[in-house]
Structures are given as structure tokens and as C-alpha cells.
């Protein structure tokens, strides 16, 4: 039996069902990278099961607690439970694009599976998940019968796991572009070339909030990607929209998404670096969305990232007209809600503007937060009203 034995006194996090074992907690290893291991207390009692990697700080990611070795039945149970959660919470009724498996949030660490109108896109983030992914894809096929499964394992984090990028058709045929319907809005998703697995399902609820307040407003969508917030605002009755992003291919899809939803208002697309754009342009719009990529990629970069978020928000808040809404977001898990609010507070204060928080949002139920692993909560959004 492959196993790791914990140092005396290091059982606490496992007893608290935290799914990560750091290398410093381990006294003895008899395991190879990517393989299933039993995690044992100092006296040899099996506490949990997970997979091991000697290359990473998180040496074991746990799949189950107690002495039940994970097998195909356990994975099938997890996948059924994940689907049931999306169904019971109403997500499958309002959209045909959602996250089916959210890694630790669904107790399948290292695995992301997004569902796009019947097509699955899976992403393996770790060497342990790489050894399990064929089994899991087969189970997804059996239980959910998707039209196709495409693997999009090109996340940067794979390098530290000792893995190369790998993208391939796993099952069936995945079209170049998939059309999805989210709350009545149509979007084109490019699962091969798009960012992450092609679409940001995690902003679904926030897009709806924007739709609800957009009527009669002019919209500036910063870091627009394929225009998710833009379409929501325009369908919600906004007068006009400007979408700004650095990616030409994303903006091309934003344009096509506007056509697909037959929006009639003026929609301007600007390919630019957002930081340059907000330095050099006036902001005349009174509904602004700011949804940058994660500026803090690790703990060490939190300070710099906090400066980046503040600069960005300060520029917007200082320049926007009175009676503006700003939906400002951070998807960096190393910056928590409290710190993000402090950053935005400092930006308002430096801008000398009166402002209040009209809404405080996070990620939807298809991106569940593992209660034992607060690190799985990553999305923060504040809806500010600026007087
Ligand atoms: N709000 C979008 C998702 C944004 S993802 C949605 O709901 O779908 C972040 C986007 O920021 C990506 O499209 C990426 O191309 C863009 N981006 C990253 N850095 C940028 C920069 N410095 N300037 C402009 N765009 C940038």
C-alpha cells in the first residue's frame, strides 16, 4: 500500500477535513508521484486517502476521509452529487452552461469540468488527477451522456506539477464554437482557443445584477472578454456600451455575441490595455464593470496586486460621473472579501468621492465553496454607487 505518514501532531487539518497536506507535515513517504496514497497518523491509523506529488508544496490532495480507498463508485457518487447540486439549486433550469465539477469545491481536487450545452470541457490541474482522468471521463460519459468531452489541460499550474499542457478530444466531436443560453442571453464559446475552458460561468449571477440596473445607463465594460456583461447590460436596456479588452479574438466573439442577441444600441469595441485606456480616456459612462484577471497569482504577490487593484479602482472612481454604478471584481483567491473591500475603500477615499456598497457578491452554486477549504472561495464583487 502506498502511503504517507504524518508527523506527530500534524493530524489536525485532516481531522478538520481540509483537503490539503503540506509537505512539511509529512514524516515518511512510500509513494510515487501522481499515485493514490493512504494518509496515516503517526501510529499507522489510516485517516484519509488522496494523491501524492513530491514536487509541490501541497504534497497530498485528499479525495476521501476515513479508510475507504477511493474507487470508481466513489467518483460516480461525487459526480452524481455535483450534478444534483446544480439541478436542485436551479442552475440547470436557467442556463445550459455551468461548472459541473469545481475541484476541491466538489471534493474532486485538481479537476474542473464545465458543461456547455451538452458538451463537456475538462481540465486536469494536477498529476494525481492526470492518472484518474480517464476513469472519471468514462464515468461522466456513463452518467451524464454528454455529446462530447474535450480536454483543455493547459493551465499554467501544471508546470509546477511536472506536467505539460495537453489538449485533445476525449470523446465524440466538440464543435469549434458552441452556442450557449444563459438566462435567455446567447453566447458563443470557443472551448479550444478561449480563456480557461472558454467562458466565465462564475459571473452568471453578477451579469444578471448588471442587467437589472442597466436601464437607461451608458456602460463601460473593462476586461470585457467576449462581452458577457455588455450583452447583459444592453439586454437590460442600457443606452450604449463600450467593451475594452486586450484580446482581439475575445473581442471578435463579443461582436458576434451582440449580433446573435440582436442588440440595437451603439456598441463600441476597443482593443487596448485597460490600464492604459483608463489613464488616457475620460469616463463618461455611468455603469462601469471592472473584472480583471487575478492580479495576485500567489501569496507573495498579494501586496503588489493590492496596489494594482487600488490603482485601477481609483482611476475609475475618480473619473466616473456622479450617479454611477461600478461593479468591481477580483477573482484572486489570495485576496479575501475583507481585503478587497479595504482596497476599494482606499480607492474611494483617495478619489475623494462619496460612495456606498449597493451589493456584495461572490461565486454561484456551480462554483461551490468547500466549507473545510476556504481557499475555494475566490470571486468577490462589490457593486458601488458613486454619488
Ligand atoms: N468579465 C468577463 C471575464 C473577464 S476575464 C466575462 O464575464 O466573461 C479577464 C479578461 O481580461 C480577459 O478577456 C483578458 O483578455 C483581459 N485582460 C487581461 N489583462 C488585460 C489588460 N491588461 N488589458 C486589457 N484586457 C486584459
Residues 173 and 219 in one domain: no
Beta-carbon contacts of 125 under 8 Å, excluding residues fewer than 6 positions away, are 103, 110, 111, 112, 153, 155, 157, 158, 161
Provide the Cα torsion 32, 33, 35, 37; round to 10°: 70
Confidence of residue 248 (pLDDT cuts 50, 70, 90): very high
Residues 33 and 81 in one domain: no
Q: Is residue 181 scored above 90 in pLDDT? A: yes
pLDDT, position 213? 98
Q: Please name the helix (run of DSSP H) or strand (run of DSSP E) that holds residue 205, with its range, or none.
A: helix 204-213
Residues 255 and 348 in one domain: yes
Q: State in Å: Cα 273 to ligand 1 middle.
A: 9
Among 189, 246, 249, say which to mutate for ligand 1: greatest number of ligand atoms within 8 Å of CB: 246
- Give domain status of residue 191, yes or no: no
For ligand 1, atom 23: residue with the closest CA: 273
Q: Note the pLDDT tens digit of each residue in 334-381.
A: 999 999 999 999 999 999 999 999 999 999 999 999 999 999 999 999
Q: Which of 65, 81, 103 is the last residue of a domain?
A: 65
Residues 340 and 379 in one domain: yes
Q: Which of 49, 65, 81 is the last residue of a domain?
A: 65
Long-range CB contacts (< 8 A, 24+ apart) of 233-236? 233/287, 233/289, 234/258, 234/261, 234/263, 234/265, 234/267, 235/184, 235/185, 235/211, 235/261, 235/263, 236/210, 236/211, 236/212
Q: At what angle are helices 72-88 and 127-144 packed, to 10 degrees?
A: 60
Q: What percent of the chain has pLDDT over 70?
A: 100
Q: Note the pLDDT tens digit of each residue in 69-82.
A: 999 999 999 999 99
pLDDT, position 297? 85
For ligand 1, atom 20: residue with the closest CA: 246
pLDDT, position 117? 98
> What residue numbers bound the domain in which 319 lies?
200-386
Q: How far apart are CA 37 and CA 311, in angstroms?
A: 46
Residues 245 and 377 in one domain: yes
Q: Is residue 53 scored above 90 in pLDDT? A: yes
- Give domain status of residue 10, yes or no: yes
Q: State in Å: Cα 244 to ligand 1 middle.
A: 8
Note whether 373 and 19 are within 8 A (CB): yes
The DSSP secondary structure of 127-156, one letter per residue, reads HHHHHHHHHHHHHHHHHH--SEEEEEE--G
Which cell is 149 given? 468531452
Q: What is the number of domains present in the chain?
A: 3
Residues 106 and 241 in one domain: no
* Averaged pLDDT of the chain: 97
- Give domain status of residue 140, yes or no: yes
Q: Is residue 298 scored above 90 in pLDDT? A: no
Q: Is residue 1 scored above 90 in pLDDT? A: no
Residues 283 and 170 in one domain: no
Amino acid at each position: 500500500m502506498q502511503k504517507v505518514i504524518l508527523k506527530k501532531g500534524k493530524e489536525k487539518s485532516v481531522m478538520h477535513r481540509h483537503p490539503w497536506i503540506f509537505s512539511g507535515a509529512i514524516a515518511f513517504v512510500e509513494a510515487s508521484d501522481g499515485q493514490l496514497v493512504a494518509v496515516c497518523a503517526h501510529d499507522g491509523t489510516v485517516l484519509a486517502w488522496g494523491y501524492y506529488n513530491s514536487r509541490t508544496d501541497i504534497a497530498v490532495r485528499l479525495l476521501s476521509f476515513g479508510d475507504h480507498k477511493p474507487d470508481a463508485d466513489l467518483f460516480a457518487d461525487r459526480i452524481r452529487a455535483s450534478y444534483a447540486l446544480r439541478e436542485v439549486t436551479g442552475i440547470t433550469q436557467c442556463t445550459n452552461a455551468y461548472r459541473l465539477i469545481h475541484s476541491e469545491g466538489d471534493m474532486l481536487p485538481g479537476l474542473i469540468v464545465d458543461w456547455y450545452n451538452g458538451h463537456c470541457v475538462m481540465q486536469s490541474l494536477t498529476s494525481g488527477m492526470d492518472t484518474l482522468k480517464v476513469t472519471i471521463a468514462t464515468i461522466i460519459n456513463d452518467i451524464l451522456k454528454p455529446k462530447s468531452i474535450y480536454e483543455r489541460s493547459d493551465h499554467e499550474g501544471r508546470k509546477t506539477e511536472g506536467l505539460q499542457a495537453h489538449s485533445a478530444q476525449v470523446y465524440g466531436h466538440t464543435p469549434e464554437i458552441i452556442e450557449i443560453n444563459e438566462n435567455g442571453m446567447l453566447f458563443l464559446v470557443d472551448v479550444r482557443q478561449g480563456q480557461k475552458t472558454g467562458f466565465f460561468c462564475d459571473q452568471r449571477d453578477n451579469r444578471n445584477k448588471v442587467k437589472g440596473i442597466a436601464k437607461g445607463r451608458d456602460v463601460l465594460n473593462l476586461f470585457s472578454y467576449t462581452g458577457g456583461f455588455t450583452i447583459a447590460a444592453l439586454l437590460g436596456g442600457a443606452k450604449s456600451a463600450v467593451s475594452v479588452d486586450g484580446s482581439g479574438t475575445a473581442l471578435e466573439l463579443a461582436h458576434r455575441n451582440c449580433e446573435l442577441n440582436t442588440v440595437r444600441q451603439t456598441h463600441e469595441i476597443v482593443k487596448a490595455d485597460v490600464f492604459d485606456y483608463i489613464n488616457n480616456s475620460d469616463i463618461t459612462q455611468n455603469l462601469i464593470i471592472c473584472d480583471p484577471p487575478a492580479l495576485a497569482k500567489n501569496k507573495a504577490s498579494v501586496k503588489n496586486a493590492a496596489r494594482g487593484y487600488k490603482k485601477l479602482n481609483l482611476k475609475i472612481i475618480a473619473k466616473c460621473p456622479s450617479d454611477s454604478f461600478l461593479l468591481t471584481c477580483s477573482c484572486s483567491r489570495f485576496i479575501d472579501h475583507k481585503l478587497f473591500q479595504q482596497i476599494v475603500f482606499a480607492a474611494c477615499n483617495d478619489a475623494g468621492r462619496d460612495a456606498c456598497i449597493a451589493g456584495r457578491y461572490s461565486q454561484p452554486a456551480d462554483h461551490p465553496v468547500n466549507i473545510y477549504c476556504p481557499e475555494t472561495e475566490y470571486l468577490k464583487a462589490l457593486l458601488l454607487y458613486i454619488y
